[in-house]
Amino acid sequence: MPWSFEEDLRNYAALGLDAIEVCEFKLAEDKIVEQLGAVQAAAMSICSVQPSVRTMLPSSSQPTPVNRRDRLARFRSSVETIAPYAPDAVFVTNTGPSPGGNMADAIAHAVSAHKELAAIAADNGVRIALEPLNPVSLNQESAIWTYRQALNIVEEVGDDHVGICVDLWNLWQDCEFVNDLSASSERMFLLQVSDWRTPRSAMDRRRVGTGDIPIGELLHAVYDAGYRGPCVVEIFSEDVPDSLYDTDLHDVLAANRSALHRAWHTQPGG
């Protein structure tokens, strides 16, 4: 945000980026084939997808449909529509919040739902990545907040098509995060980055290199654990007086790319 899908594609291609994460809400039903086809025409690939319904249970940002089976049906529809244009892409999921505070129910449902998602992914040549969220999102979007919790669910699902989305903004305060990485390199399907300051809204993330996250250290930790996939910059910046969305987004993109290179190369072995 706030660019349209067409603006995303045009501006990313101009910067020489070779991959894009697709946010399904930006796709128009009456021209989705044209939009997705344009990615290949721009010599880019779709590395990952944010489905319009990605929480297994109704959440603050995705309250409908309420019925659990209907939510899975919506996810299936997203995969079947986008997958032909995104071979081996990663579709991101969240658990959704615990219903009435029942975390055990939310986790049990996440396991059973992801077993179904695994079959959908296998049938369509894509993968599923469960994303644990920062505790600021508990009871709104997620019932899990650590890498280990996500890994426990993924291991219980027990399918090679289901792994984890590692978002540094969400996980950098997880004290066991780095230690747990080494035991699960094959389960890391996607890496997302931004930077942290104490949020002033639910949509308040920083440009890489301007906050508190030790980006370089964590990039190397993920790499050393075996991850070789894409690195997606994911910044939300709304309902704050200095919103990045109100600035020159070309500068924001360029600054993040440069900051990632600096973070990587200023660490030993970078």
Average pLDDT over residues 84-107: 97
Q: What's the confidence (pLDDT) of residue 185?
A: 80
Residue 115 pLDDT greater than 90, yes or no = yes
Q: What's the confidence (pLDDT) of residue 171?
A: 98
Residue 54 pLDDT greater than 80, yes or no = yes
Q: What's the confidence (pLDDT) of residue 140?
A: 95
- CATH fold of 5-265, please? TIM Barrel (3.20.20)
Average pLDDT over residues 94-109: 96
For helices 147-157 and 103-124, angle between their N-to-C axes, nearest 10 degrees: 60
pLDDT in tens, 2-25: 999 999 999 999 988 999 999 999
Average pLDDT taken over every residue of the chain: 96
Q: Minimal CA–CA distance to 167: which of 92, 57, 217, 238?
A: 92
Encoding tokens for residue 39? 């990615």
Q: What's the confidence (pLDDT) of residue 162?
A: 98
**Which residue in this structure is represented by tokens 């942290």?**
196
pLDDT in tens, 127-137: 999 999 999 99
Phi, psi angle pair for 259, to nearest 5°? -65, -35
From residue 236, how far is each of 62, 203, 204 by CA, in Å? 16, 5, 6
Q: Minimal CA–CA distance to 134: which of 99, 169, 175, 94?
A: 169
C-alpha span between 57 and 99 (Å, rounded) = 8
Q: What's the confidence (pLDDT) of residue 184?
A: 80
Q: What's the confidence (pLDDT) of residue 269?
A: 73
Residue 116 pLDDT greater than 80, yes or no = yes
Q: What's the confidence (pLDDT) of residue 242?
A: 95
pLDDT in tens, 152-182: 999 999 999 999 999 999 999 999 999 999 8
List, as one string, the DSSP characters of 157-201: HT-TTEEEEEEHHHHTT-TTHHHHHTT-GGGEEEEEE-B----SS
pLDDT in tens, 252-264: 999 999 999 999 9
Comparing 269 with 177, the larger pLDDT belongs to: 177
Q: What's the confidence (pLDDT) of residue 8?
A: 95
pLDDT in tens, 186-234: 999 999 999 999 999 999 999 999 999 999 999 999 999 999 999 999 9
DSSP annotation of 18: -
DSSP H helices, 15-94, are 32-41, 68-82
Average pLDDT over residues 25-40: 95
- What H or E segment, with its residue span, contains residue 20? strand 19-23
**Which residue in this structure is represented by tokens 């990587």?**
264
Q: What's the confidence (pLDDT) of residue 181?
A: 92
Residue 270 pLDDT greater than 80, yes or no = no
